[in-house]
């Protein structure tokens, strides 16, 4: 029997790869130079000199007459505060006047609505009374009926009158409700138009 000897494998050494970077880079396009006006920038020394001059003048004013500079400053503050206070007072007066007018318009609207509701309630009470009277008269008439044909004729007439009464009352209620709504809204509408200067 033949014996095999085990040989160890040794890989070959890798050869160095040299890459040329030139073909991998994009070609640069030569752009035409753009001519621009140079932005004038002040020299830092000039800026510093100007700031120093202004500061020196302010300091000299304060040193020569400190009371005058303090009083001038106080006067400016006082003027600003008085102006703000007068504007605040004026705005408060306007707001109070507008609020008073809105309250009076709302009060007038509520008064109108209250009287309108009372009128509607009175109209409803009249309609209820008329219906009750019609029912009572119908019941009295029923006791006097002698035949079925008389009862049918009496009931038909009663039903027709009830329908007419309900239809008439509905029309009256609708017209009255519309009138009350328009009269109740009128003061508020007038106030809104006055406040926002809208032509009505």
Can you give the residue ranges of every domain in the chain?
Answer: 58-195
The structure's pTM equals: 0.48
Give residue 120's pLDDT.
87
Residue that wins the pLDDT comparison between 58 and 81 = 81
Give residue 163's pLDDT.
92
Average pLDDT for 157-165 = 92
d(CA 127, CA 135): 12
């Amino acid at each position: 029997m033949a014996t095999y000897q085990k040989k160890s494998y040794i890989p070959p050494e890798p050869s160095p790869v040299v890459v040329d970077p030139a073909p991998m880079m994009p070609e640069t396009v030569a752009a035409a130079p753009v001519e621009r006006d140079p932005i004038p920038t002040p020299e830092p020394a000039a800026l510093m000199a100007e700031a120093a001059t202004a500061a020196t003048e302010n300091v000299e004013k304060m040193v020569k007459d400190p009371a005058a500079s303090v009083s001038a400053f106080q006067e400016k503050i006082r003027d600003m505060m008085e102006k703000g206070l007068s504007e605040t007072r004026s705005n408060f007066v306007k707001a109070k006047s507008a609020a008073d007018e809105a309250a009076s318009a709302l009060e007038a609207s509520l008064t109108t609505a209250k009287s309108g509701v009372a009128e509607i309630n009175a109209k409803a009470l009249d309609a209820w009374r008329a219906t009750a009277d019609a029912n009572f008269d119908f019941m009295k008439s029923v006791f006097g009926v002698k035949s079925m044909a008389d009862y049918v004729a009496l009931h038909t007439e009663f039903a027709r009158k009830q329908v007419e009464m309900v239809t008439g009352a509905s029309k009256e209620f609708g017209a009255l409700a519309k009138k009350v709504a328009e009269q109740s809204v009128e003061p508020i509408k007038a106030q809104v138009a006055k406040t926002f200067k809208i032509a009505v």
